[in-house]
Amino acid sequence: MKGSKPLYLVATLLAVAGLLWAPQLIAAAPREATMGFVQKIFYYHVPSAWLCFLGAFVCAGGSIAYLFKDSEAGDRVGVAGAELTVLFGLCVLVTGPLWARKAWGVWWQWDVRLTTTLLLWMIFVAYLFARRYGGPGARKLAAGLALFGAADVPLIYISVSIWRTIHPKTTVVPTLQAGMRGPFWLSLGTFTVLFFVLLGMRLQLERARARVDELHLAVEDLEDR
């Protein structure tokens, strides 16, 4: 961990700088013709959504390592990924309806992206629930749930997309207006750096926790002797 400290510091500074700078660029970006001011939510909504899905992948990868290789590191990656999914997912699920109320006139639609994101979020909330309240065996159980969750998402996506979809397509991103492109990519970059900084912090915390448990057991052994 010691070797990665400078990198970690640089990343943290980058994230802070981005979080300070991006809002100014976003405020200065051109107003969208039809949606006006609410369109600016897009700069937070899209990066959060992409990191929510990234977190789910990270969690599923760690869970596979923990399930089949009994890798403790995999378990730590799993819980960190799940927490980030829930965190960024919450950002998506809060900013989305705020925008939808203005753009569609309703808070919620059973649209394919909305439904998929909501269920993905719920699966990872259940993951954290299982770990928190499950007691013995719950970590394996949660890892199994993450695996199902990863398999579930495409299925939910297909099943809901049979109904009509009104969510803006992903082609919105490459066809952005010139003035909007800069702030968007800065937002995305900042959120991504933030994601990895949080992931690193969370992993470090879990490692420290495991070490404390180890020491605790070692002391008990000494006392028994």
- Round to whole Å and give the CA distance between 78 and 61: 7
Q: Is 160 in the site for other proteins (CB under 8 A)?
A: yes
Q: What is the DSSP letter of 100?
A: H
By CB under 8 A, residue 149 contacts other proteins: yes
* Separation CA 130–CA 140 (nearest Å): 10
9, burial (CB in 10 Å: exposed 0-12, middle 13-18, buried 19+): exposed
- Count of residues interacting with other proteins (CB under 8 A): 33
The tokens for 195 are: 């994601």
Cβ count within 10 A of residue 215:
10
Are 149 and 56 in contact by the 8 Å Cβ rule? The answer is yes
Provide, rounded to whole angstroms, the least separation between the CB of residue 217 and other proteins: 15
Q: Which stretch binds other proteins (CB under 8 A): 31-39, 120-128, 172-180, 195-203?
A: 120-128
Considering just the CA atoms, what is the radius of gyration of the chain in Å?
20
The verdict on 57 binding other proteins (CB under 8 A) reads no
> By CB under 8 A, is residue 176 in contact with other proteins?
no
Q: Which of 3, 6, 105, 136 contacts other proteins by CB under 8 A?
A: 136
Query: Does residue number 3 form part of the binding site for other proteins (CB under 8 A)?
Result: no
| Interface pick for other proteins out of 29, 41, 52, 67 (rule CB under 8 A) | 67
Binding residues (CB under 8 A) for other proteins: these are 67-68, 70, 72, 119, 122-123, 126, 129-130, 133-141, 143-145, 147-149, 151-152, 155-156, 158-160, 162
